[in-house]
Amino acid sequence: MMPTAMNLPAGISQDSLLEALRPLCWGAADILRAYARGEQPPHGFSRALSVDHGGEGPVSAADLAVNQWLLEGLHAAFPDAGWTLLSEETAKEQLTEGEPLPAEWLWILDPLDGTKDFLQGTGEYAVHLALVQGQRPVLGVVLLPEADELWFGLVGDGSWCENRTGQRGPVRFSDRNAEGELIMVASRSHRDNRLERLIAALPLAGSKAVGSVGCKVATILRGETDLYISLSGKSAPKDWDMAAPEAVLLAAGGAFTHADGRPLSYNTGDVRQAGCLIASHGKAHAALEKRAAEVMQTIDPGFQV
């Protein structure tokens, strides 16, 4: 069966949307790469890389510049679009705890996922854009500036990677699917004893530490790893951390769920994506869910996966 065109707000075509997103994303890459190298950013942004270490994590001038670039760019490209724009940097002003935004169509943006990695110079940072209808993503974009990779995912219609010239490359999931073969990608900065115990209890061939969630999911899409687990503790990832990577992975045929099989939901009135979340190439996903849920009942009885 041929894939059908994705559902979009009235008056917006898939082609026009993708054509608008490409220059916006590569412009964001240019801004971030300039800041990362101590160079003058394009598009008139200040060269000073100031950093605010308050709140839940650092916010740099690079976060704010890309946030402005993306929001203004989407407004300019689609001034009459029937959607709402939400980003990590505007959430405090836009959101009221316990109340979803009154929007059928919602963009959820993270202008710089992996700010700590960006500031530390690991190169493992990303830009996330996700278009959500209701509480589920229909489109995801994950930009990896240092790798010159722009991942698109149209849920129900496939995923692919583009470089700056527009050349496309396919998703390349690994063939690993048996116990003892799988390779896990885990967080470098958000780890605790429970996660270490969970990793040790799973039938894995190995694991590697990577920064941004977008970078982690890209390793699955390239076939370098097979699964990623997020385990919330004192803090939890937010909607803008997960929506775009989930969309790209789902569109590729992978899976991203809670350990009890529940799907992730967005714009619920609570932006936290708490619990034990599993992303994978999908080939052994049900077995991973079952094993992780069982292990968590031993490690942390009563934990809501």
pLDDT of residue 97: 94
Asked whether the beta carbons of 285 and 255 are under 8 A apart, the reply is yes
Residue 76 token pair: 């300019």
What is the secondary structure of the chain as a DSSP string? -PPPPPP--TT--HHHHHHHHHHHHHHHHHHHHHHHTTPPPSTT--S---EE--TTS-EEHHHHHHHHHHHHHHHHH-TT-S-EEEETTTHHHH-BTTB--S-SEEEEEEEEE-HHHHHHT----EEEEEEEETTEEEEEEEEEGGGTEEEEEETTTEEEEE-TT--EE-----S--STTTEEEEEESSS--HHHHHHHHHS-EEEEEEESSHHHHHHHHHHTS--EEEEE-SSS--BHHHHHHHHHHHHHTT-EEEETTSPBP--SSS--B--SEEEEE-STTHHHHHHHHHHHHHHHSTT---
CA distance 176 to 186: 17
Q: What is the pLDDT along the chain (305 residues), one digit of tens a residue?
A: 334 457 889 889 999 999 999 999 999 999 999 999 999 999 999 988 888 776 666 778 999 999 999 999 999 999 999 899 999 999 999 999 999 999 999 999 999 999 999 999 999 999 999 999 999 999 999 999 999 999 999 999 999 999 999 999 999 999 999 889 999 998 876 678 899 999 999 989 999 999 999 999 999 999 999 999 999 988 899 999 999 999 999 999 999 999 999 999 999 999 999 999 999 999 999 999 999 999 999 999 999 99
Asked whether the beta carbons of 121 and 142 are under 8 A apart, the reply is no
Q: Rounded to whole angstroms, what are the CA distances from 153 to 23, 167, 243?
A: 17, 16, 11
In this prediction the pTM is 0.95
Q: Angle, nearest 10°, between helix axes 61-77 and 14-36? A: 160
The structural domains of the chain, ordered by start, are 14-169 (3.30.540.10), 182-299 (3.40.190.80)
